[in-house]
Amino acid sequence: MAANQALLVVDVQNDFCPGGTLAVPQGDTVIPVINRYLRFFNDKELPIFVSRDWHPKETKHFKRFGGIWPMHCVQNTPGANFHATLKLPPEAVILSKGMDPEQDSYSAFQAKDEEGRDLKEILEDLQVKHLFVCGLATDYCVKASVLDAIKNGFQTFLLLDAVKGVNMHPQDSRKAIDEMNKKGAKNITITDLPEA
């Protein structure tokens, strides 16, 4: 693999896993596969980004304040922690999003690192050209992140065996994948990686 590739792991947080307040059905079942991608990229010293939903207690994103979602991923609560079985290497860059109480922000391209830099800036700095995306949820944050990656000119790969959707309507994930593919995302699975 060429050096201009990076991995983006979207929102693998307790509240999106079984037992959480906005559980993605079987959301935790993709974590072992995500860990294999993490190991693969880390072994090759390729950059790894992990986004997290990081909401204030009061935000228009939540039902109580006019949005569509139950409370989830409130800053500094256990629900906002990365799932305990996710094996994040210390080099992984954490990007937080959803802090603005006035708006929904689903895309990791709306997220910022500790220094306030956004994903696009960092990827361009590192001369990343190919972005590999996995995580939760297929039909929301993964979709928004993949579509933004394409818009921003990155060749974008959807890691099909390492995503799961909310499926408020039963076909939502299927439709999201179709839309990502139509816009140019390529589907791959772990066996497509060399020597994975």
Residue 71 lies near ligand VGL (rule: CB under 6 A)? no
Asked if 95 contacts 113 with a C-beta cutoff of 8 angstroms, the reply is: yes
Q: Select from 7, 8, 74, 137 the one that contacts ligand VGL (CB under 6 A).
A: 137
> 141 catalytic, yes or no?
yes
> 134 catalytic, yes or no?
no
> Of these residues, 17, 53, 73, 97, which one is catalytic?
97
CA distance 72 to 55: 8
Residue 109 lies near ligand VGL (rule: CB under 6 A)? no
Q: Which is nearer to ligand VGL, 47 or 79 (CB)?
A: 79
Residue 15 lies near Zn ion (rule: CB under 5 A)? no
Q: Which is nearer to Zn ion, 25 or 32 (CB)?
A: 25
Q: Select from 131, 141, 158, 180 the one that contacts ligand VGL (CB under 6 A).
A: 141
* DSSP annotation string for 75-99: TTSGGGSBPTT----TTPEEEEE--
Q: In the Cβ-directed half-sphere of 77, how many Cα atoms lie within 13 Å? A: 16
Residue 110 CB: number of other CB atoms within 10 A? 22
Residue 28 lies near Zn ion (rule: CB under 5 A)? no
Asked if 146 contacts 156 with a C-beta cutoff of 8 angstroms, the reply is: yes
3-class secondary structure, 115 = coil
Residue 128 lies near ligand VGL (rule: CB under 6 A)? no
Instruction: Kindly list the catalytic residues.
Output: 11, 97, 141
Instruction: Please report, as ranges, the residues that interact with ligand VGL according to CB under 6 A.
Output: 11, 53, 69, 106, 136-137, 140-141
